[in-house]
């Protein structure tokens, strides 16, 4: 079996119906700024590099020509036009009059905080990492890292030197038809990093509800996932508050997220970026983890990212 690692670029040999994108989030002074460099390969083989940008106030998509895209095959390094995204940081030169968006500058990343890896679980997808036919693969490169540097964003200079970063990625043919995603690494009153995804997953002629979730508290990782027996106990909504309860053996995780819709982003279907989803890049999430009835963590996550598409599984909320 071939390991579909989240470190490599997978599109070098792909001829059609494929996408790959990296999600790089940067937070400072209660504001969030995310860049999504990526490429889509449509059914006819045409390749379309892009950079999507989302922050508190709006979202944007910048299109590039095929020859403006380059990605290393054995490490995280992507160049689109004059913009570079990699393990060491980013360098931006975005000049788009149509979007009225002008961003330039460099940010340097501190050491990454990766998730735990093993032969059974070489990525967040666990043993599903070894399968070659999944609709969509997910990877987490860094749950948290420090930032240095600044960006000129139109007429504003933003200093990120007290900021925090996060990086994940997706690749495959299509995003799931229905899913919930959330992430935060700015918690009060205790240091923590959190990622959660729940999606309808097509699999060899049938469909299952796939769960992957990581909570890191003071450097200790707690993971709840389908491949560890994790299940969704309930999903409910009270006005704009979405509440999800996860259970795995004697572990219970309660998630409450402010689910207000955010801004438009493009998402892939059969390689083509023809779906519109909405992401709130700066919302609030509250989580509580208990094990054998003992509370291990309770905190409020700020500058949280949140996406909700359709209704997952048989839940009505």
Strand partners, 96: 101
Q: Which of 180, 194, 146, 167 is nearest to 300 (CA)?
A: 194
Distance CA 74, CA 168 (A): 16
* DSSP reduced 3-state for 171: strand
Distance CA 20, CA 22 (A): 7
- Tell me, rounded to whole angstroms, the distance of Cα 237 from its chain centroid: 23
| pLDDT, one tens digit for every residue, the chain (317 residues) | 455 678 889 999 899 999 999 999 999 999 999 999 999 999 999 999 999 999 998 999 999 999 999 999 889 999 999 999 999 999 999 998 888 899 999 999 999 999 999 999 999 999 999 999 999 999 999 999 999 999 999 999 999 999 999 999 999 999 999 999 999 999 988 899 999 999 999 999 899 999 999 999 999 999 999 999 999 999 999 999 999 999 999 999 999 999 988 999 999 999 999 999 999 999 999 999 999 999 999 999 999 999 999 999 999 99
pTM: 0.96
Distance CA 235, CA 51 (A): 33
Answer for the pair 213, 223: CB distance below 8 angstroms, yes or no: yes
């Amino acid at each position: 079996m071939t390991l579909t690692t989240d470190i490599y670029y997978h599109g070098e040999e792909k001829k059609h119906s494929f996408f790959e994108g990296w999600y790089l989030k940067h937070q400072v002074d209660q504001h969030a700024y995310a860049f999504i460099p990526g490429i889509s390969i449509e059914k006819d083989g045409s390749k379309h590099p892009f950079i999507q940008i989302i922050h508190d106030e709006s979202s944007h998509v910048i299109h590039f020509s095929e020859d403006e895209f380059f990605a290393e095959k054995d490490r995280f390094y992507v160049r689109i036009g004059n913009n570079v995204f990699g393990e060491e940081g980013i360098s931006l030169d975005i000049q788009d009059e149509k979007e009225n968006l002008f961003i330039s500058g460099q940010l340097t990343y501190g050491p990454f905080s990766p998730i735990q890896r093993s032969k059974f679980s070489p990525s967040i997808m666990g043993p599903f990492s070894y399968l070659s036919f999944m609709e969509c693969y997910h990877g987490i490169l860094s749950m948290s890292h420090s930032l240095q540097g600044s960006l000129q964003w139109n007429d504003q200079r933003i200093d990120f030197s007290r900021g925090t970063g996060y990086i994940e990625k997706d690749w495959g043919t299509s995003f799931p038809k229905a899913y919930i995603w959330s992430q935060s690494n700015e918690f009060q009153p205790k240091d923590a990093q959190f990622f959660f995804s729940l999606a309808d997953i097509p699999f060899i002629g049938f469909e299952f509800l796939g769960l992957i979730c990581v909570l890191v508290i003071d450097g200790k990782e707690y993971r709840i996932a389908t491949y560890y027996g994790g299940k969704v106990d309930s999903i409910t909504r009270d006005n704009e508050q979405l509440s999800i309860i996860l259970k795995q053996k004697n572990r219970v995780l309660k998630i409450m997220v402010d689910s207000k819709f955010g801004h438009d982003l493009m998402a892939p279907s059969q390689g083509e970026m023809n779906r519109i989803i909405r992401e709130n890049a700066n919302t609030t999430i509250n989580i509580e983890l208990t094990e054998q009835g003992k509370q291990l963590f309770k905190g409020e996550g700020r500058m949280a990212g949140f996406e909700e598409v359709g209704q997952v599984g048989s839940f009505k909320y």
